[in-house]
Amino acid sequence: MPELPEVEVVRRGLETHVVGARILGAEVLHARPVRRDPLGPEGFAQAVAGRTVTAVRRRGKYFWLALDDTDAILGHLGMSGQMLVKTPGAPLERHLRVRFPLDSGADLRFVDQRMFGGLSYAPGGAVLPSEIAHIGRDPLDAEFDAEAVARRMRQRSSAVKRQLLDQTLVSGVGNIYADEALWRARLHGERPGDRLTRAQALDVIEQARAVMLQALDQGGTSFDALYVNVNGESGYFDRSLHAYGREDEPCDRCGAAIRRVAFMNRSSYFCPTCQPVPRRRRT
């Protein structure tokens, strides 16, 4: 569910509400969300208890709470994860997985219906957890190198959409913003990377950056109550989408009906006129 803009909204909320607070303990209600933690549920709870949150950082779709400027709690929201700041007496969510009472009097909660997301203790990970060292920088990172990403894209034969979703190449882009970036760049997602011009590759990367920045200004994209900020509120960038989720609706540029096709076990939306299907490579 959440892509870079939605995770950044959550990061900002955590920064406002949690930095400076001490974690009194962790109640792990389901083991799966901490499956990546080698310490296991009890070890995780023990490692974070008594620690003070000194910063909240993000790269791509991952976020982490720095603990005492040295270690971290690394998190990913997967398809349905939420980080909520509640009062301890608030009713427990149906899919509440981990609960952190804080000395500020608030209750930090990780809620995740499908449990593709998770939390783990990252020793030494305050600045950048080693667990995500393989993830590429995201387009909002000051040190993001669009030229280098474009170069790599053009060296590979795999489809440009698959490459946009490859978190080791560029992080933060998911299915919604990949389709939106491709629509803006007038490129079909199945175009092989090595058949893009340098200008086209740079353009689609720039469109991804721009659309994610605009979505962030609107509080992210929400279709339902599954994606919410730390206060449980939805974003409203869904009103500004041009391709994603708009099957059979007219293209905002040319009026042709937006099409939906299955691609990579998911859906891709595109304008058949503005984003023509690439011709098959000559063998």
Instruction: Label residue 105 exposed, middle or buried (CB < 10 Å: 0-12, 13-18, 19+).
Output: exposed
142 or 281, CB closer to DNA? 281
Instruction: Decide: 45 and 27 in contact? Cβ < 8 Å.
Output: yes
Pairwise CA distance, residues 44 & 110, whole Å: 14
Q: What are phi and psi of 41, to 5 degrees?
A: -55, -45
Catalytic residue among 51, 57, 61, 184: 61
The least CB distance from residue 167 to DNA, in Å, is: 5
Distances (CA, A) of 112 to 33, 37, 120, 200, 246: 8, 17, 15, 38, 27
3 half-sphere exposure, CB direction, 13 A CA radius = 29
Kindly tell me which of 58 and 86 has the beta carbon lying closer to DNA: 58
Q: Which residues bind DNA (CB under 7 A)?
A: 1-3, 6, 32, 60-62, 76, 78-79, 94-95, 113-116, 156-159, 162, 165, 167, 174-176, 193, 220-224, 226-227, 264-267
- Asked if 4 and 56 touch (Cβ cutoff 8 Å), the reply is no
Element (H, E) at 18: helix 4-18
Q: Is 91 a catalytic residue?
A: no
In angstroms, give the least distance from the CB of 28 to DNA.
Answer: 16
Per the DSSP assignment, residues forming a β-bridge with 177 are none
Is 156 labelled as part of a ligand binding site? Answer: yes
Which one-letter DSSP state was computed for residue 281? P
Residue 76 or 184: the one with the smaller Cβ distance to DNA is 76
Q: 99 among the known binding-site residues?
A: no
Q: Is 250 a catalytic residue?
A: no
**Identity of the residue, 143 or 224, whose beta carbon is nearer to DNA in the bound complex:** 224
Of 278, 141, 262, 263, nearest in space to 208 by CA: 141
Name the β-bridge partners of 73.
Answer: 65, 121
Q: Is 2 a catalytic residue?
A: yes
Nearer to DNA, 51 or 237 (CB): 237
| Residue 61 annotated to the active site | yes
CB 267 within 8 A of CB 35: no
State the Cα–Cα distance between residues 166 and 197, nearest whole angstrom. Answer: 19
Binding residues for DNA: 95, 114, 156
Binding residues: 95, 114, 156
Residues tagged active-site: 2-3, 61, 266
